[in-house]
Amino acid sequence: MTGARVLVVTGYGINCEEEMCAAFRLAGAMVDQVHLGRLLRGEVGLRPYSVVAFPGGFSFGDDLGAGKVLANRIRSRQLPDGSTLLDRLIGFVDSGGHLLGVCNGFQALVSLGLLPNVAGDYRQEATLAGNLSARFEDRWVKLHAHPNAPHSAMSSLGGFDVPIRHGEGRLVFRDETIRQAVVEAHLDCLTYVDAAGNPATAYPDNPNGSDLSCAGLCDPRGRVLGLMPHPEAYLSLYNHYDWPRRLREHPELSEDGDGLRFFRALLSARWEQN
């Protein structure tokens, strides 16, 4: 697990990079924080890294929709050799690298066609629309990881709590064919669930109205993972709003937060697959 090298992208309104860096470091990785502008100018390459992570925030102010401008820069801005950062990200994944996108980062990966990518042609197949509540949701939700998802980190996670903070998190698929392909391949790897552990079809357990109660997606190869909630915001048990009661009822409970367990599983999955 230890020794993986992770690139965490920052700049232009991304604002959860410090939490993301802390999460990977606590999970045992070496982390470099790199401004998106340096990647877009070709000053930093991806070859030394095992994971490239896009944190949450409000990239470019989200003025044209969640993650849209960030995705357009990555897709269209030419590097000195004539390629784009999207070309390099695709090559990175093809060579065994892993991508992670959280909240705004997830929105960008979906806009780039990196998720769910059921057809394998990197065309956009889904979008993150405005929450059905018509408001920004900032609170805790319950998730369940699908053990049969292609991303092997899901096999050990089970159910866990995690914070959310987003206004545009409602996952919508382009058509029924893509939706069905996602279901059949278990790419809907993280599900909003209610207190009983059942898929949450209604507000507030499903905070945004996402199709399939989906909180996160992976690609068919299990190398690209994105989710709307923020595991990097729950690295310690004491981050949880209900930690005193939890600790009283379960004195043996680990002081690690569920989010740290998520990042440890992510790094373990990387080593298992490559």
Please confirm, yes or no, whether 43 is among the known catalytic residues. no
Q: CA–CA separation, 182 vs 211, rounded Å?
A: 11
Q: Which residue has the tokens 């569920």?
A: 258
* Interval 120-145 mean pLDDT: 96
**Length reported for the chain:** 274
pTM beyond 0.85, yes or no = yes
- Please write the tens of the pLDDT for every residue from 185-226: 999 999 999 999 999 999 999 999 999 999 999 999 999 999
Give the model's confidence band at 64: pLDDT under 50 very low, under 70 low, under 90 confident, else very high.
low
Closest CA relative to residue 234, chosen from 16, 67, 29: 16
Q: Which of 103, 189, 214, 218 is catalytic?
A: 103
* Interval 259-266 mean pLDDT: 96
Starting at the edge strand found earlier in the chain, the sheet holding 5-10 runs 30-35, 5-10, 51-54, 98-102, 224-227, 214-218, 190-193, 137-145, 159-166
Please confirm, yes or no, whether 21 is among the known catalytic residues. no
3-state secondary structure of 106: helix
- CATH no. of 5-273: 3.40.50.880
Please return the burial class of 64, using the count of CB atoms within 10 Å of its CB with bins 0-12, 13-18 and 19+.
exposed
- Contact in structure between 230 and 164 (CB atoms under 8 Å): yes
Q: Which of 17, 125, 168, 232 is catalytic?
A: 232
Please confirm, yes or no, whether 166 is among the known catalytic residues. no
String of DSSP letters for 229-257? S-GGG--BGGGSTTHHHHHHH-TT--SB-
What percent of the chain shows pLDDT beyond 90?
A: 90
pLDDT value of position 272? 53
Q: Where are the domains of the chain?
A: 5-273
Q: CA angle, 209 as apex, 207 and 215 as ends, to 5°? A: 65
- Strands (DSSP E) contained in the chain are 5-10, 30-35, 51-54, 98-102, 126-129, 137-145, 159-166, 170-173, 190-193, 214-218, 224-227
